[in-house]
Chain A
Amino acid sequence: MLSSFALGIFTVLLLGVVLSLGRLVKGPKMADRVVVIDLLATIGIGMIVAYAIATDEPVFMDVTAIIGIVGFLGTIAFAYYLQRKADD
């Protein structure tokens, strides 16, 4: 029962991903798209937790740490690149 509930949670989070992809396509500047990348990494952590509960596999919980680190580094790198590009 809890596993099907977690799959429902996964589906609702997928709706959030689809919503934010709209902004990724539309975003007038590149900074808006970087915001969406940051958001997608965070939603991805939530989706992985929901999937770990749905399949009852605690191994997937380790993936959240990797996604968190890579998402943070990607955001920082993109922001630094945007700032350098604006300086020139």
Chain B
Amino acid sequence: MIRDILTIACLLIGTFFTVVAALGVVRFPDLYMRMSAATKSTTLGCGFMLLGGAIYFSDDFGVTARAIAVIGFVFLTAPVGAHMIGRAGYISGAKLWNKSVVNELEGRYTATALRSGDEDESGGSESVNQAGS
């Protein structure tokens, strides 16, 4: 009985966060906000859904252990994926929302600055400094 109630609570919380993330991906104005919504919120939502599954199948310890391992995996990999998408989007020139107030990477994180950093370590940092000043 208490197990069913815990399962229902976890599934409800997880579904709420997941659907809110889908709504955010549709409604947010630029790539970076959408990426933030799609990653942070779904990580929590997916974690709660898996926790619900782990509680429901808690008779079988193997299933619970695997579900908790998947929670750990998702919590480790989702930020890495978000960082990679944001970096690729910035390098390929995705625009910020026109009401965003600050862009601290302005001119420091272009494809040319990164490429000169690949060729020569000291020269790359110099060119990054010049682009920043």
A binding-site residues for B, Cβ under 8 Å? 2, 5-6, 9, 12-13, 15-17, 19-20, 22-23, 29-32, 34-36, 38-39, 42-43, 45-46, 49-50, 52-53, 58, 61-62, 64-65, 68-69, 72, 75-76, 78-80, 82-83, 85-87
Contacts and interface: CB of A to CB of B under 8 A. Distances in A.
Interface of B: 4, 7-8, 11-12, 14-15, 18-19, 21-23, 25-26, 31, 34-35, 38-39, 42-43, 45-46, 49-50, 52-53, 56-57, 60, 63, 66-67, 69-70, 73-74, 77-78, 80-82, 84-85, 87-89, 91-94, 111, 114-115
Nearest to B69: A65
A37 to B, nearest CB: 10
Which of A29, A32, A39 counts the most B-chain CB atoms under 10 A from its CB? A39
A31 B11 contact: no
Contacts of B43: 42
Contact of B38 (A6, A36, A50, A83): A36
29 contacts: A2-B7, A2-B8, A9-B11, A13-B18, A19-B19, A22-B26, A23-B34, A35-B25, A35-B38, A36-B38, A38-B82, A42-B46, A42-B74, A43-B18, A45-B70, A46-B15, A46-B45, A53-B7, A53-B53, A58-B63, A68-B74, A69-B73, A72-B78, A75-B85, A76-B80, A76-B84, A80-B84, A83-B92, A87-B114
Given A6-B11, A39-B38, A68-B77, A86 B49 contact: no
Contacts of B81: 38, 72, 75-76, 79
B19 A12 contact: yes
Contacts, number: 164
Contacts of A34: 85, 88
